[in-house]
Amino acid sequence: MRLTISLSGAVLMSLLALLWLGRDEASAKSSMQVKDAQQFGSEESGWQKVDVDAFSILAPSGWKFHQLQGVDSYVGEFTGNGIVLKFDFGGYSDPFREEKKPAYVVIHKSIGGLAAKIVSPKTPGHGVTGVYFPKTFGSNKLTLLGQDLTPTQQELVLKVFDTIRFGNTVPPVLPPPAKNEQ
C-alpha cells in the first residue's frame, strides 16, 4: 500500500511539474511574442496583427484585409486610415524597376531576416511607396505598395513595412470570375 501511495504521489508530482513547465513555456512564448511585437512597430499604441497566412503585418487598430482575385499569385489589400496597400505574393511580383533615383528614395535593408527593397517618392503624394522582397520562401516574392500617399500616410506605411513577417503557407488563389460576371 505504501508503494502504491508513493507511486501515485510521484506520478502526481510529475504531472504537476509538467503543467508548471508548460505554463512557464507558454508564458515565455507570450512574452516573446509581445517582445517581438514591441520590436517591430507596436510601440504605437493600439496596433494589431493582420495575418494573411503567407505573411503578416502590424497596423493601427481597425485596418482590414481583403483578398482580391489573382491570376497566378495571391493578391489582396490592407485598408485603414484612408490608406490602401495592395500586395502581390507570387513568382512575378513587381520589383520596382521604374521607381529609382533621383525621383525616389531607394533603400535596401533586411526586414524580418529577409532582403527587402523599399521605394518612396521624394515628393510624397506623387508615386509609389512600396516594399519588395525578391525571395520569401520557395520561389515566391512579395510586393506591397500604396499609391500617392500624403506625407503622414507615407510615414505610417514605412513603419508598417518594418513589421512584415513571413509564415510558411500560401493561401489559394481566388479563381477568375465567370465570363458572364462583370
Residue 120 CA to residue 146 CA, distance in Å, equals: 10
Find the CATH number of the domain harbouring 162. Answer: 3.40.1000.10
Tens digit of each residue's pLDDT (9 = 90 or more) over 120-151: 999 999 999 999 999 998 889 999 999 999 99
**Helices (H), ranges, the chain:** 2-39, 151-161
Whether 122 maps to a domain, the answer reads yes
Domain with 1 in it = 1-39
Q: Please count the CA atoms within 13 angstroms of the CA of 25 that sit on its side-chain side.
A: 6
For residues 13 and 90, membership in a common domain is answered with no
Whether 176 maps to a domain, the answer reads no
Write down the residue that cell numbers 520561389 correspond to: 139
For residues 112 and 60, membership in a common domain is answered with yes
Tens digit of each residue's pLDDT (9 = 90 or more) over 42-70: 456 789 999 998 999 999 999 999 999 98
